[in-house]
Amino acid sequence: MKKVGVALLGLGVVGGGTYEILKKHQEFFKKTQGVDLVVKYVMDRNTARCTELGVDPAIITTDINVIADDPDVQIVAEFFGGIEPARTFLTTVLKKGKSIVTANKELFSKYWHELEAAAKEGKAGLYYEASCVGGVPIIRTLTEGTQANRILSIKGIINGTTNYILSSMSDEGKTYENALAEAQRLGYAEADPTADVEGFDAMYKLSILSSLAYHKKVPIDRVYREGISRVAIEDILIGKELGLTLKLLAISKDDGKKIQARVHPTFVPNTHPLASVSGSFNAVHLVGDSVGDIMLYGRGAGALPTGSAIVSDILYAAKQTKHRYCPFNNTGTATKDGDFADDFISKYYIRLTVKDEVGTLGRIAGAFGKNNVSIVTVLQRDSRTEIVNIIFVTHETLEKNIKKAIEDIKSLKGVTEVNSVIHVEE
Amino acid sequence: MKKVGVALLGLGVVGGGTYEILKKHQEFFKKTQGVDLVVKYVMDRNTARCTELGVDPAIITTDINVIADDPDVQIVAEFFGGIEPARTFLTTVLKKGKSIVTANKELFSKYWHELEAAAKEGKAGLYYEASCVGGVPIIRTLTEGTQANRILSIKGIINGTTNYILSSMSDEGKTYENALAEAQRLGYAEADPTADVEGFDAMYKLSILSSLAYHKKVPIDRVYREGISRVAIEDILIGKELGLTLKLLAISKDDGKKIQARVHPTFVPNTHPLASVSGSFNAVHLVGDSVGDIMLYGRGAGALPTGSAIVSDILYAAKQTKHRYCPFNNTGTATKDGDFADDFISKYYIRLTVKDEVGTLGRIAGAFGKNNVSIVTVLQRDSRTEIVNIIFVTHETLEKNIKKAIEDIKSLKGVTEVNSVIHVEE
């Protein structure tokens, strides 16, 4: 029986879930996987937490070098999150030949190349299934399940906090502020929710997934990012009337020449498989050139779902006789500026406040037409007052055309305000 | 660059799709996977088909020994389907150390142990992602993505033909016969549709998936099987009124003591993720003890989707330095009779034709009660005539109780016919 020593850095939510799975299933893994996973070290300053989880005090350490220098440790799983000390610690152990397993999307998306260089130096492996979409095996799907395909697009709901907030706005008619407060009370959102609600978390994940999918590094600064903090409940309710559901989507596409990647609030038709992914669930929809449409759905966060991905990575890492590295780092296909599209094509939902006067609608239609934006749907709301809302849904158009049209419309007589401009994906 | 020789046995729909992917993406795989996949042999008697696909006549063979004896062939992909000659050919090449990749669910579910013994003898690998759910990487998910879990249940729509037929009955109100005829016209059903519509295909796949999920062989003769050929359009339409969608579900569960596996028409609530999987799409819903709910969705058949799974397996096999075998064959955990549950628990939908007389409903309710079956919903249809339909939906109950209740009800005064008894899954 192959014995594999594991060190856990951090024993928070996911670290705790991982420890629980490793203890509960040690015999099960011996029987079904032929591997004896032994927790050799736990690094956490919170001794109360360690005691609560039943960690033997003898295996608690605060010194990374104890772990790095122990030849019986083969795998180090990291749960600190953020950049430091994770970056230094993981680089240290990789160089000593220990494979790492991590859920740290921020570190991974920013310092992948650095971690990979350290891994090559130590002939160690990098495993990061848990960094994207919790327990859903999306990384394994990309690297071992659909690798026969050129991936054409990724569309995902990959942040549970924002999906919970948008679902509760849509289902219960709550404002953003009230939905956020509720999510915080229930533990679905952090006290400082910025990383989730402003789309940073989804941006990190989309950078990782897109890099794997398109075999080229898609750095975070090439991912357009827009959060949900300015989403108005009015638009969610109007969208419902139009058969559209609002989601924070992470979208990337590769047309074979240019890559585009973006995170923003997006309307999808109610019939789209992603429309029914609600609450804290996550889902990723892929299109491959041979396989066509694939969707994976599951829990994107939580102690045990993310712990499941961590332990699956540990078992996977334990069985590799030779670790593999990313082709885009191996072959030097550094991404160039020209690899990215700066002209997005999308449909748009636009809500305007206008004065109910003869000629206003004609002037607006003229401004769209002048900028080559054609309209699918016009919806006028509530004409009991002199101020009315008009909603337009466009055909596919270049983002630069929409921007120019909106600039023109803003200065038109009778237009009071451009309230919302929201992407619509089919 | 690692050069890997591949032989393709059969060049039908999936074999052709596989050949197309291998030719189209040879350079892409060299760049992204570091493997040069070279088609060394094609075995097919249909030379017109070979010419159509542009196969070099020099690599066409009809002799399996030519392939088995060529040291430059590492992987043999099989597309014959059925038992012979696939069984003999694959056993032959495995013993010679060539790994096999196959979509052959019937062969694999029936002769897995025999193929595995041959593979061990030849130190070769067995890869069969394409045998279940076409391009959807469900096998890789079970073996490399959720292997940290005890899998508690599998529920899947894993046969595209029956899902197409049931969707077209539900959406267009067609009878079974008309929906089948249309599916045959469109190529979604075979001239002899038995393997699909009677649930054999789903049974083979469920046997394979359940064996992997529960780490115990679940042989096909332990899978309860009931097809869709007796499904009445009336029940689909009544189900719609009750918020239920009818699907041919493959279901298996492991409660830690007993396994149960079954394929039968099943009502699911419209809100269930599987309810919206329509047409020729497939989906598998898993529950793991840590990861919770996961669902995978995609195309379950077709030249390129299934070819995607075949080529992903070829790439995966090409990278293994040591092939792994199934723990339930390795450790001798042969499945015993006592490992299987013979008392299914389910909810049921029951449709009766009765005479509209005082006391009939009371007698029926009495028969359910006597057999410990409690009722959630009663729906009486159309009382304009003296003969009426009554529909009952039960709470969860043992199958043996339902059987006894139905026997009792059949002999009651006023009961003309028991029209349908259909499982309901939450």
CA of B177, closest CA in chain A: separation in Å? 28
Average of pLDDT values for B319-344?
71
Q: Which pLDDT value is given to residue A383?
A: 62
Distance from CA of A100 to the nearest CA of B (A): 17
Q: Mean pLDDT across the stretch B416-421? A: 95
What is the pLDDT averaged over residues A374-392?
Answer: 84
**CB-based contacts of B82, cutoff 8 Å, min separation 6:** B104, B106, B107
pLDDT interval class at A135 (50, 70, 90): very high
**CB distance from A300 to chain B under 8 Å?**
no
Quote the pTM value.
Answer: 0.94
Chain A residue with the nearest C-alpha to that of B289: A304
- Identify which of B140, B305, B319 has the shortest CB distance to residue A291: B305
pLDDT (average), residues A68-75: 98
Q: How far is CA B37 from CA A20, A403, B100, B252, B316, in A?
A: 42, 47, 14, 37, 12
Contacts of B327 in chain A (CB under 8 A): 31-34
Residue A309 in contact with partner chain B when CB distance is under 8 A:
yes
Instruction: Identify the pLDDT of residue A124.
Output: 97
Q: Check if B128 contacts A (Cβ < 8 Å).
A: no
Name the CATH topology of B345-424: Alpha-Beta Plaits (3.30.70)
**What pLDDT, in 10s, does the model give residues B135-180?**
999 999 999 999 999 999 999 999 999 999 999 999 999 999 999 9
- Check if B329 contacts A (Cβ < 8 Å): no
- Of all helices (H) and strands (E), which one includes residue B201? helix B200-214
* CB-CB under 8 Å, A291 with B309: yes
pLDDT category of residue B330 using cuts at 50, 70 and 90: very low
| B316/A contact by beta carbon, under 8 A | yes
**Lowest-pLDDT range, A252-261, A330-339, B129-138, B145-154?**
A330-339
Q: Does B312 touch chain A (CB under 8 A)?
A: yes
> What's the rounded mean pLDDT across residues A338-360?
87
Q: Which segments within A289-426 are labelled E, that is strand? A: 292-299, 345-355, 375-381, 387-394, 397-398, 415-424
CB-CB under 8 Å, B291 with A305: yes
With contact defined as beta carbons under 8 Å apart, do B215 and B254 qualify?
no
Q: Give the pLDDT score at A326.
A: 78
Of the candidates A141, A276, A321, which has its C-beta nearest B137's C-beta? A141
Task: Measure CB to CB from residue A291 to each of B135, B144, B330 and give the nearest one.
Answer: B135
Residues of A in contact with B21 (CB under 8 A): 148, 290
Task: With a cut of 90, say whether residue A107 has pLDDT above it.
Answer: yes
| For testing contact with chain B, the best of A4, A128, A291 (most B CBs within 10 A) | A291
**pLDDT (0 to 100) of residue A331:** 42
Share of residues in chain B with pLDDT > 70 (%): 97
Can you give the pLDDT at residue A271?
A: 84
Residues 2-31 of A with CB under 8 A from B: 17, 21, 25, 28-29, 31
A336 has pLDDT over 80: no
Closest CA relative to residue B344, chosen from B293, B402, B421, B274: B402
The encoded tokens of residue B323 equal 């092939």
For residue A157, name the pLDDT band (cuts at 50, 70, 90): very high
Nearest to B34 among A146, A308, A327 (CB): A327
Distance from CA of B158 to the nearest CA of A (A): 14
Catalytic residue among A105, A110, A174, A205: A205
Q: Which pLDDT score is estimated for B329? A: 53
The verdict on B343 touching A (C-beta cutoff 8 Å) is: no
Q: How confident is the model at residue B340 (pLDDT cuts 50, 70, 90)?
A: confident
CATH 3.30.360.10 domain residues, chain B: 138-299
Hey, are the CB atoms on B290 and A17 less than 8 Å from each other? yes
Q: State residue A90's pLDDT score.
A: 98
A356 has pLDDT over 70: yes
Residue in B closest to A272 by C-alpha: B276
For the domain A138-299, what is the CATH code?
Answer: 3.30.360.10
pLDDT of residue B156: 97
The pLDDT score that the predictor gives to residue B129 is 97
pLDDT in tens, B86-117: 999 999 999 999 999 999 999 999 999 899 99
A135 touches chain B (CB under 8 A): yes
Phi, psi of B271 (to 5 degrees): -80, -10
Residue A112 to chain B, least CA–CA distance (Å) = 18
Of residues B65 and A328, the one with the higher pLDDT is B65
Distance from CA of B349 to the nearest CA of A (A): 26
Region A214-219: mean pLDDT is: 91
Put residue B332 in one of left, alpha, beta given phi > 0 → left and psi -120 to 50 → alpha. Answer: left
Residue A384 pLDDT grade (very low, low, confident, very high; cuts 50, 70, 90): low
Q: Three-state SS across B27-59?
A: HHHHHHHCEEEEEEEEECCCHHHHHHCCCCHHH
At residue A327 the predicted structure's pLDDT band, cuts being 50, 70 and 90, is low
**Which residues of chain B neighbour A290 with C-beta distances below 8 Å?**
17, 21, 135, 304-305, 307-308, 311
Q: Do B311 and A290 touch (CB under 8 A)?
A: yes
Tell me what pLDDT residue A273 has.
Answer: 84
Residue type, B158: I
Give the tens place of pLDDT for each residue, B224-282.
Answer: 999 999 999 999 999 999 999 999 999 999 998 899 999 999 999 998 889 989 888 99
Token output for A97: 């030949």
Please list the residue range(s) of chain A that carry CATH number 3.40.50.720. Answer: 2-131
Task: Give Cα B318 distance to the centre of its chain.
Answer: 27
Give the CATH H-level superfamily of domain B2-131: NAD(P)-binding Rossmann-like Domain (3.40.50.720)
- pLDDT score, position A335: 66
Q: How would residue A68 be classed by pLDDT, with cut points 50, 70 and 90?
A: very high
Catalytic residue, chosen from B98, B105, B174, B205, is: B205
Q: Is residue A205 among the annotated active site residues?
A: yes
Q: Do residues A187 and A246 touch, judged by C-beta distance below 8 A? A: no
pLDDT in tens, B372-416: 999 999 998 766 677 888 999 999 999 999 999 999 999 999 999
Percent of chain A with pLDDT over 90: 83
Mutation for B interface: A26, A138, A290, most B CBs within 10 A? A290
Nearest C-alpha neighbor of A22 from the set A316, A318, A320, A307: A307
Q: Is the pLDDT of residue B24 over 50?
A: yes
Which whole-number Å values give the CA distances from B309 to A209, A299, A395, B66, in the listed order? 20, 25, 35, 26
Q: Of B34, B141, B315, which is closest to A137 when you measure between CB atoms?
A: B141
Where does CATH 3.30.70.260 sit in chain B? 345-424
Q: Which residue has the higher pLDDT, B89 or A386?
A: B89
Torsions phi, psi for B122 (to 5 deg): -95, 5
Nearest CA in chain A to B33: A327
> Residue B147 is nearest to which of A291, A297, A315, comparing CB atoms?
A315
Residue in B136, B276, B322 nearest the CB of A276 = B276
Cα of A299 to nearest chain B Cα, Å: 7
A295 in B contact zone (CB under 8 Å) = yes
- Chain A nearest CA to B121, separation (Å): 20
- Kindly provide the ipTM of the predicted complex, given to two decimals: 0.93
Residues of A with Cβ-Cβ distance to B147 under 8 angstroms: 32-33, 312, 315-316
Mean residue pLDDT of chain B comes to 93
Q: Kindly report the average pLDDT of chain A as a whole number.
A: 93
A156 strand-pairing partners: A250, A284
> Residue A178's pLDDT band (boundaries 50, 70, 90)?
very high
Decide: A394 and A373 in contact? Cβ < 8 Å.
Answer: yes
Whose CA is closest to A6, among A122, A93, A136, A115?
Answer: A93
| pLDDT recorded at residue B382 | 66
Average pLDDT estimate for B211-228? 93
B296: left (phi over 0), alpha (psi -120 to 50) or beta: beta
Cβ distance B148 to A21 less than 8 Å, yes or no, reads: yes
